[in-house]
Structure 1
């Protein structure tokens, strides 16, 4: 077979092998061209399909998949999604007390969703959770304050013995530990939160005009019990709960969270963004 191949190479024609080689070479070239044409957002979409293919509520992708998706997300720029800080999405309406948030929907399926939150200066997304989800967030531009929490493990909701110095709407509160409380300015590394840690409850406040690209796996689904819950937060010293004692330095990084209805002043307008 080796001799026949060498002879075919010399003559430049081999009826049994040349067409197959030409076919393979042609396909290889097409694949290379297709890879070259793939945009950063299309690459993100393809990576999400691979990473979340066998996922589900509470299932965290393997570390190598987490890193692969993080790296792809980290490479995306505002230019890749066609956004600039001077666009209408990022302007503050002086008539509104609370700036309107715009959500640019890119893609959603049962396994994951992709979208971009556009926040004008002072725009805020209140404290909320991500039940059973692994969430990747990339700040595309701007400066944003992020505060996030994780529940204190093995401590269910409590009924405070004391409601001083203020009464609350319901009796139950739950202790959470502050994971992050800081300003972030783009460019910065994507943040990743997990179903039980990494800051599963968080809130965003735009210091300047901001755009945040979010990937959720799996996405919210009311019919599957993954609805978005909102919370009030209170200092640890606000309530006294029997049997819970915390050292002084620990009190600073622990707060009580209380579930509440969706804020009436939260206005999120949705638009579709065709990028894949």
Structure 2
């Protein structure tokens, strides 16, 4: 904090003499330290998402350059960056022989981003069928090239960091939907044919209600604070 003092302008004096400005060096040091404090990874993710999705809307996909910006942030993130450690109860083995519950941690959501089909049977092509071992590179799913459709089978306890842009929204028709999958050979459609060696890459999907054995539990996010700006 700067403090400026002057001598009183007594009667008969024609000038005011300014004394040197006194500076509180400790306060200045603290300000510099705050200014240069490194941004947390989750704050960096929030800021990048805000920049990337700020001009996006329905049917508008971010540019390849913006996608790469977002990917570069996600590729460096670790569980600890969002407050996850192996000791948390989410990662404990369950004794009961049932489908383990999915724990959902809500980090942030707005109308632009959050760090979807009529009933019947539809044809789907598998884009990626692979085993992933953490840490692994970010996967990008585009709305016109498969969309946010996925099936995970966790061999061990794991965590998935998902960025949705735009997020789920029932009023806007972006619902969370569930499907049963059937081998391509189970159904036939006139005029539709697939080479024999490619049939394993296709499946028929039937939309269903939320499976009875699917348990999703919400939990409080306790990782580093996200500062909205």
TM-score by structure 1 length? 0.66
| CA distance in structure 1 between the partners assigned to 2:155 and 2:177 by the alignment | 24
* Pick aligned residue for 2:177 from 229, 235, 238: 229
Q: State the partner residue of 1:65.
A: 66
**Aligned-pair Cα RMSD in Å:** 2.2
Q: Which moved more, 1:32-41 or 1:230-239?
A: 32-41
Q: State the partner residue of 2:105.
A: 104
Q: State the partner residue of 1:204.
A: 152
Q: State the partner residue of 1:37.
A: 38
Q: Residue deviations 1:215-234, cap 9 Å, x none?
A: 11111011111111111111
CA contact (8 A) 1:85 1:210 kept: no
Residue 215 of structure 1 aligns to a residue whose secondary structure is coil
Q: State the partner residue of 2:202.
A: 254
CA contact (8 A) 1:100 1:266 kept: yes
* Pick aligned residue for 1:245 from 193, 196, 206: 193
Q: Residue deviations 1:111-133, cap 9 Å, x none?
A: 1112xxxxxxxxxxxxxx4x8xx
Q: Residue deviations 1:17-70, cap 9 Å, x none?
A: xx9xxxxxx8xx74x844533101001101111001011233210111000010
Identify if the C-alpha distance between structure 1 residues 107 and 83 changes in structure 2 by more than 3 Å, giving closer, same or farther: same
Q: How many residues align?
A: 196
| CA distance in structure 1 between the partners assigned to 2:69 and 2:168 by the alignment | 23
| CA distance in structure 1 between the partners assigned to 2:146 and 2:209 by the alignment | 24
Q: Does 1:182 align with 2:130?
A: yes
How much does 1:198 deviate? Answer: 5.3
Identify if the C-alpha distance between structure 1 residues 244 and 175 changes in structure 2 by more than 3 Å, giving closer, same or farther: same
Q: Does 1:80 align with 2:81?
A: yes
Which structure features the higher share of strand residues?
A: 1
TM-score by structure 2 length? 0.78
Q: Which has the larger radius of gyration?
A: 2
| CA distance in structure 1 between the partners assigned to 2:191 and 2:149 by the alignment | 25
Structure 1 unaligned segments of length 5 or more: list them: 1-18, 20-25, 115-128, 132-156, 158-169
| CA distance in structure 2 between the partners assigned to 1:35 and 1:224 by the alignment | 41
How much does 1:94 deviate? Answer: 2.1
Structure 2 unaligned segments of length 5 or more: list them: 1-20, 22-27
| CA distance in structure 2 between the partners assigned to 1:34 and 1:238 by the alignment | 62
| CA distance in structure 2 between the partners assigned to 1:80 and 1:246 by the alignment | 45
CA contact (8 A) 1:180 1:199 kept: no
